[in-house]
Structure 1
Amino acid sequence: LDREKEAAIAMNMLKEGRLPLCVTHNDTKLNNIMIDDETGEALCVIDLDTIMPGLSIFDFGDSIRFGANTAEEDEPDVSKVSLSLPLFETYTRGYLEGCKGSLSPDEKKMLPMGAKLMTFECGVRFLTDFLQGDTYFHTSRENHNLDRTRTQFALVADMEKKWEEMEEIVRKSEK
């Protein structure tokens, strides 16, 4: 509930016309990119069943949630969970370069919030599944979704501690 107002910020900006609706993948993580075994080069994006209208900051955010966490998504020891600022910076630079100037100023400014919102949302989804008896996400151990929940919420808390650095990385990367 402490994050209730922030949870709606992106959708409110969409309604106000400050963030554009665009085509998004909605499951942007490394294991949804086909990589050439010999060259290590990305070949294409896969798992296309999740493509639909959405916000660019959510695709960015899900990538950060998955790829800039220093721990596994289901790490039981939350002391291992943190946002890697070097990975955040590398991804941010690459994302902005790949977008080739197509993002609005508000979209760029909201990239850190996209990371926080997607991490928070995923934590809520894991918690909901845990409370409903683990019926959606595959689990392989007792309290698996609860561990996932705690990991996501720990990552959100670490993002909040590093918020100014995240914003500075975005400002620096867009130049």
Structure 2
Amino acid sequence: MESDVDALTAAGASQVFTDDADTDPRKRPGLAECLASLEPGDVLVVPSASHLSHAVTHFVTTVSALSAQGVAFRSLAEPALCTGAATAVDPAEVIAALEALRRRLVSVRTRAGMASAAAEGKRAGRPTVMTPEKVAMAVELRNLNRPITHIARVLGVSSNSVQRALAPLPRTVDRVD
């Protein structure tokens, strides 16, 4: 966030508007205040187009509305998406930049969802098949020198699941000075 503010200041921004990272992307008071303050002849500068919109369609609509108001748009990360008088860009570059924006927005939403799930105590990925009871049984069978494949067959899981469950935990070393 601070590096974005520095980049905008270095690019000549006279005002910098920010929103908290936790803010819902569809309800951003800083962005709303910024857009309301723009006048014809202004240039809206953003570190990346993904900071302006939550979806590519919203981005296109927003930039079109800005253009209709006489406001130019400049993205520091995606020059092909900039508007204004001196922006003669190959259409293929614009399409490639929009696709890159779409991928970046998907990534941002995915990371936000994973962070939200982690905050609720949820773990990403498939749930483990090795319940505490199965782990205890696997340990007991391993102590009886049973092979991993036998343990897996008895428990009804894969050999890899048994190996992961029986993998030694990282040992901590107590240091005595």
Q: Shared fold by TM > 0.5?
A: no
Query: Which has a greater percent of helix?
Result: 1
Q: Which has the higher contact order (CA 8 A, sep 6+)?
A: 1
Q: What is the TM-score with the length of structure 1 in the denominator?
A: 0.30
Larger of the two Rg values belongs to structure: 2
